[in-house]
Amino acid sequence: MERTLVILKPCTIQRGLIGEIISRFEKKGLCLVGMKMVWLTDEILSEHYAHLKEKPFFQRIKDAMSVCPVIVCCWEGVDAIQVVRLMAGTTNGRNAQPGTIRGDYSMSVQENIVHASDSPETAAIELKRFFVDSELFSYKRNDLLSIYANDEF
């Protein structure tokens, strides 16, 4: 089983889409093992978006990510990192495939509903960035044998 970080961005909170987006991951069969609301600081956002620090929109995305609190979640499942990235869709909501989260709910490259970790290495670093160990739980959904074959997990 893998764990991955999802952030419901301020646009999602402002548009009243929290339940709808969480529901997608839940219905897919991923297991929610951590969740909290946090107001992100410029400091943590500078670290989180360090790969974009040379871009002209660096400050703009940090500002957009701190207009209100966000919801950070940790989802667990087989290949969860790739599964969640596929569910999120490509970065620009206008190009994202219909059926993906960004494809269904976003018209913007910036206001694109969710952040999702992009690799196992990134997921491990990002989960540590937003959660302390005691905020992530170990348990199994009771419907696991309806979600996977018994040799899949």
Interface residues toward ligand UDP, by CB under 6 A:
52, 57, 61, 91, 109-110, 112, 115, 118
- Tell me whether residue 115 is one of the annotated catalytic residues: yes
Q: Which of 89, 115, 127, 131 is catalytic?
A: 115
Q: Which of helix, strand or coil describes residue 1?
A: coil
Please report how close the Cβ of residue 150 comes to ligand UDP at its closest, in angstroms.
34
Q: Which is nearer to ligand UDP, 66 or 141 (CB)?
A: 66
The CB-side HSE value for 83 (13 A sphere, CA atoms) comes to 18
Please report how close the Cβ of residue 34 comes to ligand UDP at its closest, in angstroms.
20
Query: Number of H helices and number of E strands within the chain?
Result: 8, 4
One-letter-per-residue 3-state SS of 21-80: HHHHHHHHCCEEEEEEEECCCHHHHHHHCHHHCCCCCHHHHHHHCCCCCEEEEEEEECCH
Please report how close the Cβ of residue 22 comes to ligand UDP at its closest, in angstroms.
18
How many residues make up the chain in this entry?
153
Q: Which is nearer to ligand UDP, 119 or 140 (CB)?
A: 119
Q: Which is nearer to ligand UDP, 124 or 147 (CB)?
A: 124
Catalytically active residues, by annotation: 115
